[in-house]
Amino acid sequence: MNTPQADVTAPGEARTRVAEVPKIARERARAGWSRTRASALPALIMTVGAVLAYLIAHYALGHVGPIFAATSALIALGFGRDLTVRKVLEVSVGCTLGIVLGDLMVTFFGGGIWQAGVVLMASLLLARFLDRGVIFATQLGIQALFVVLLPAPIGGPFTRSLDAVVGGLVSLLMAALLPRDPRVQPRQDLERLVEAFSEMLRECAEALTESDSTRAWHALVRGRGSQSLVDTIRATLKTSSEVVTIAPAYRRFRGEIEDFARGVEYLDLALRNGRVVARRLTSTINNAALSEHAAESIAELLSDIAESLDFVAAGLSTRDREERRVSLRSARLMLEEIASRAHPKKLHVERLEGEALVILLRPMIVDLLEATGYDHDDAVALLPDL
């Protein structure tokens, strides 16, 4: 009697899954260690802010156990990616208002379950008005809830509101003097954007090589999905611009952030043109508009553009100024050579539809050249005349 296939393969599949456990554990450990390293400085700033607010409220104001001073500073200096003076002020005011609501409720209506429910509802709605973060709303609600349910402190109920003000002022001071490096988050966002752009171009190249229009469509979908990355990096750069304007420690990076923002705008234009190319590629493959030689040549061109993107990203975001200069020079040299090939005849294209595809590639190359610092006219001049 034959054994069912599922019964035969099940033990093997189980052993495979067991064998993958150490690999998964190592990957999780690496990811956790990476997050820990990235969070070390923010955690230190949060700790110092909370302790400092507590000490000021305790020793300078004479408050007993001013826990709300510490928690207010901790919430305002949280692990958010857009920590600026404006954002810290917004969170500090919201946190203080939540505690004030609790103090007002206790003062006029006393403490109790229904009072706690009213102040919790009001605090949660206030938090959602001020910030979209779910954790922020929860923390603010908990603070207001504690104010109503815990016994009134020595010194009167509004002592806790004053503690919250102290915590907010300390967090504002630390955000102004010791903000997070405004270049870190834009670098991480740029890496994700460039990775998505490169994958789209490489998938287009593979679609050409394999004459697979479905794969070209998948590349287009990938490109469209990457627009959210562009929106994210723009929001991050807005925050970084605020930091380099306000924080004395980072004003020297203003020019670097401006160059970075300029390069991202051209990358966005290049990505948009890349989506146009991917959409056209689907039709070109379906209509067999390219010879095998032409398809290989354009696929190689797309792969080279994808490779040049790594140098463009490094030239915009690498920490060391000399490394940025070298990377930008390498990107320019690669893109200059790519631009010199962007002509239908040099790519062995014979049919009109194939020529249209090459013509659509040219603006994308110009955008990438401008991202490396070229003027528009100089970038266009590098393309062969049609």
Query: Can you tell me the distance from the alpha carbon of 50 to that of 71, in angstroms, rounded to the nearest whole number?
Result: 7
For residues 45 and 136, is the Cβ–Cβ distance under 8 A?
no
Which residue bears the tokens 């590349």? 219
Reply yes or no on whether the pLDDT at 385 is more than 70: yes
For residues 338 and 305, is the Cβ–Cβ distance under 8 A?
yes
Reply yes or no on whether the pLDDT at 363 is more than 60: yes
Q: Is the dihedral of CA 284, 365, 297, 312 positive or negative?
A: negative
Query: Can you tell me the distance from the alpha carbon of 220 to that of 226, in angstroms, rounded to the nearest whole number?
Result: 10
For residues 126 and 94, is the Cβ–Cβ distance under 8 A?
yes
Q: How confident is the model at residue 181 (pLDDT cuts 50, 70, 90)?
A: confident
Q: How confident is the model at residue 370 (pLDDT cuts 50, 70, 90)?
A: very high
**Using CB atoms within 10 A of its CB, is residue 161 exposed (0-12), middle (13-18) or buried (19+)?**
buried
Mean pLDDT of 184-195: 84
Looking at residue 2, what is its pLDDT?
Answer: 47
Looking at residue 101, what is its pLDDT?
Answer: 84
Tokens for 76? 């305002």
Helix (H, G, I), strand (E, B) or coil at 153: coil
Taking Cα atoms as reference points, which of 215, 238, 210, 372 lies closest to residue 305?
Answer: 372
Mean pLDDT of 360-377: 92
Looking at residue 17, what is its pLDDT?
Answer: 64
Position with higher pLDDT, 180 vs 349 = 349
Segments of the chain assigned E as strands: none
Query: pTM score, two decimals?
Result: 0.65
Looking at residue 80, what is its pLDDT?
Answer: 63
Looking at residue 332, what is its pLDDT?
Answer: 92
Q: Which amino acid is at 90?
A: E
Q: What angle do CA 240, 242, 244 make, to 5 degrees?
A: 70
Query: Can you tell me the distance from the alpha carbon of 53 to that of 325, in angstroms, rounded to the nearest whole number?
Result: 44
For residues 60 and 69, is the Cβ–Cβ distance under 8 A?
no
For residues 177 and 293, is the Cβ–Cβ distance under 8 A?
no
What count of residues does the chain have? 386
Looking at residue 7, what is its pLDDT?
Answer: 45
Query: Can you tell me the distance from the alpha carbon of 290 to that of 307, in angstroms, rounded to the nearest whole number?
Result: 23
Mean pLDDT of 51-66: 90
What DSSP state is assigned to residue 56?
I
Mean pLDDT of 171-176: 81
- Cβ neighbours of residue 29 closer than 8 Å, sequence gap 6 or more: none
pLDDT in tens, 114-151: 888 888 888 888 888 877 767 777 777 888 888 888 77
Q: What is the rounded average pLDDT for all residues in the chain?
A: 83
Looking at residue 333, what is its pLDDT?
Answer: 93
In percent, the amount of the chain with pLDDT more than 90 equals 22
Taking Cα atoms as reference points, which of 362, 204, 181 lies closest to residue 260?
Answer: 181
Helix (H, G, I), strand (E, B) or coil at 212: coil
Mean pLDDT of 205-225: 88
For residues 180 and 210, is the Cβ–Cβ distance under 8 A?
no
Looking at residue 365, what is its pLDDT?
Answer: 94
Taking Cα atoms as reference points, which of 177, 377, 360 lies closest to residue 283?
Answer: 360
Q: How confident is the model at residue 55 (pLDDT cuts 50, 70, 90)?
A: very high
Reply yes or no on whether the pLDDT at 213 is more than 60: yes
For residues 160 and 154, is the Cβ–Cβ distance under 8 A?
no
Q: Which amino acid is at 198?
A: S
pLDDT in tens, 229-288: 888 888 888 878 877 777 777 788 888 888 888 888 999 999 999 999 999 998 888 888
Reply yes or no on whether the pLDDT at 222 is more than 60: yes
Reply yes or no on whether the pLDDT at 68 is more than 90: no
